[in-house]
Amino acid sequence: MKREKLFLLMALSLVLFALTTAVFADSEKSGFDYSAEKMECRIQPSAFDMDEAEKNRGLLGSVTDSDWSIGPEDAVLTIIEYADFQCPYCADASLSLIEYQKAHSSEVRLVYRHFPLSFHEKAVPAALAANAAGYQGMFFEAEEFLFEKQDEWSALENNDVFEEWLIREFSNFSDLDFDLWYLAFSDSDNEADIRNLYSQVIRTGIISGTPTVFLNYADSNYMFDNASLDNFLGKLKANENSLAECPDVVIHEETPYTAVLETEIGDIRIELFPDTAPNAVNSFVFLAESGWYDGAVISHGYDDYVWTAESVENPGYSFDPEYSETRLFDGPGYVGFDGAVSDQDAGRFFITGDIRQYFEGKIRSDSSEMDVSKDAVSEYITEKIIRLSKMNSLFGRVFDEDMEKLMLLDNGTVINNIRIDQ
């Protein structure tokens, strides 16, 4: 019995050893070692101050079913507006925000919260009228109506006259059950709720005037015009699938790698240079293996002397340029990461056309009034190429045999997949 157990243990040990050996062999064979080591990079900042947003959420309260809101609960952008129906600035802001939500109905949620200022006597009756419509699912229709008519009703003599105006107008409101509306409008408990909520918000010290608008609970600092909202929404969408940390180191600098761009015009092979641009190659391989570039679209850029390819999503990190004196963008087919500012945009790479020929034609055109020597032109072009190489990480070159396919690339050419071979 003991002998059988001993043989069993020996057999099990051999199986485990074989499995372990196979795993390490596959790892070495693939070259993609997803270890705990991370490449050097910088995570791009969030679209807003997360700490501030969470603090505001804690003080003001999360959006619940008791809020007046329109748009999906899982919206990319939630706009929370504190407003006063008699405030002229609120009318402009609210009507604009309503239109913005309509235009981005699948991505934006709009939340309206009352903040009736004490010196606006008609603010509470207007809020009661909107709430009464809201109980029938028509709050935002009532809000839009009241703000559009603000000049008319805010000039009325007193609240008694204003309430008569409200009753008359809402009795003709389309699709509204007027009797139910009037019961809610005249219910004193509803007025008490509005005033109590106002007092609670005042005690937070966060809001003192109107309109006050929060974007995902971060203070908008009054930047809620369409352009600012587009910018904020764009950043949120870009960060939505971004990496929270730098990519794993998945390459070996001494291993040769080939990237195969699978496109509608055929495969284009690129020799990668991990020896001189390890971060760029690692980033490219990591993103390619993750399917980040699947569906990327090729377009001409920089006066048509390069082709650019943008990934579907922003990976959310950047890294320092990598420069080697032995490899320059000195001809067609070189591949680099865009470093138009100071960092490399890890989601965007480009492939050069005949840069030297392009620069020569441009310089000759720009300096046509002077007879400049060929040697001076050549020297100046070399300096421009060196500057370009220092600013953008050169990490690969298209195989000579595939250069003809490169010339067939056009605006809109789709990269179906990027395969990494070695």
The CATH topology of domain 50-240 is: Glutaredoxin (3.40.30)
Burial of 322 (0-12, 13-18, 19+ CB in 10 A): buried
- The predicted model gives 58-68 an average pLDDT of 91
In contact, 277 and 324? CB cutoff 8 Å: yes
* Two tokens, residue 278: 């390890």
pLDDT given at position 53: 87
In contact, 122 and 85? CB cutoff 8 Å: yes
Lowest-pLDDT choice from 47-51, 144-148, 317-321: 47-51
Examine the pLDDT at 3 and tell me if it is beyond 50: no
Identity at 2, one-letter amino acid code:
K
Examine the pLDDT at 25 and tell me if it is beyond 50: no
What are the start-end ranges of the E strands in 63-204?
68-70, 77-83, 108-114
pLDDT given at position 208: 87
Lowest-pLDDT choice from 40-44, 163-167, 241-245: 241-245
Lowest-pLDDT choice from 89-93, 264-268, 305-309: 305-309
Domain ranges of the chain: 50-240, 258-421
* Two tokens, residue 272: 């990668």
Q: Which residue would you say has higher pLDDT here, 13 or 70? A: 70
State what percent of residues in the chain have pLDDT above 70: 85
pLDDT one-digit tens code per residue, 252-303: 999 999 999 999 899 999 999 999 999 999 999 999 998 888 988 888 765 5
Give this prediction's pTM.
0.59
pLDDT one-digit tens code per residue, 139-193: 999 999 999 999 999 999 999 999 999 999 999 999 999 999 999 999 999 899 8
Examine the pLDDT at 343 and tell me if it is beyond 60: no
pLDDT given at position 6: 32
User: Please, where are the H alpha helices in 329-406?
Assistant: 355-366, 374-391, 403-406
Identity at 337, one-letter amino acid code:
F
Query: Distances from the Cα of 347 to the Cαs of 8, 256, 296, in angstroms?
Result: 53, 23, 10
The CATH topology of domain 258-421 is: Cyclophilin (2.40.100)
